[in-house]
Amino acid sequence: MRFRTEGIVFKGLPFGEADMIMTIFTRHRGFIRAFAKSPRKTKSRFGSALEPFSHINMTLWGKENAELPKLIQADIVHPFQKLREELNCFLRMMEIFEMTFMFIPEHDRQDGLFDILLDTLMLQEVDCLNAKVILCYKIKMLSAAGFMPRLSGCARCAGMGRRFYFREGSILCDGCVDRNNSLEGFELSVGAIKLFETLRLWEWGKLSRVVPSNVLIDELNRMLNLHIRYRLEKRLKTREFIEHLT
């Protein structure tokens, strides 16, 4: 069975002398792995289409829901070459690809998230230092994966609070915290909570209207990175590398 779909290349794993096992985030089938014949040869028909971040139209061959369909054609829609050439851009995008891959199961169709990821690539190509875009993407990805933090009041009584507890995945007020248990928490400012709720509720296409301070962006990014680490029960390899460089 032959089928076509759009995809964004995540990574390739060498297989044999010249073949590759590709991991690609597709519009219609979510994350898939596909076998590519001889892309590492100089005169490969794939050319540079299988480089990380490339937006491609591709043709695959295999039974429906096959674990490893064969990739028989890949045409570049947009290469996003700049994001591979600048180390900071490359690491930022690899981090969000890695976390997306860890949270979104294979073959889980995510049309909306595919569009958001593609738009994130485009925005980062224009300005890869735009931390707001990465923050917005993390929030939308966690929502799609079902791991969105709750910051709109205490999860137990709906009262006011500003301390986020990772084990609970939410804010708890002082009256609802179990003092007999040592809950790891993160104190958030009122401004950071308001910014989170704005980004969570607004449509992706309207996010350009939000102009937050770098202080609030950094605060929320720190909290979300810790939340992601807690939920995955391990550190992202890319995040470890970025922190080692800084």
How confident is the model over 46-80, as pLDDT tens digits? 878 999 999 999 999 987 677 899 999 999 999 99
Question: Is domain 82-151+188-246 classified as CATH 1.20.1440?
Answer: yes
How confident is the model over 155-168, as pLDDT tens digits? 999 899 999 999 99
The pLDDT assigned to 64 comes to 66
What whole-number percentage of the chain has pLDDT above 90?
Answer: 76
> Where in the chain do CATH 2.40.50.140 domains reside?
1-79
- Rg of the chain (C-alpha set): 20
Q: What pTM value is reported for the model?
A: 0.91
CATH topology of domain 1-79: OB fold (Dihydrolipoamide Acetyltransferase, E2P) (2.40.50)
Q: Which amino acid does the sequence have at 130? A: N
Q: How many CA atoms lie within 13 A of 142 on its CB side?
A: 23
Which of 143, 135, 104, 140 minimizes the C-alpha distance to 26? Answer: 104
> Where in the chain do CATH 1.20.1440 domains reside?
82-151+188-246
Strands (DSSP E) along 17-69, which ranges? 19-26, 30-36, 55-61
> Residues of the chain whose pLDDT is less than 50?
none
Determine the Cα–Cα distance for residues 171 and 242; give it in Å rounded to an integer: 28
Tokens 């939340």 correspond to what residue?
A: 227
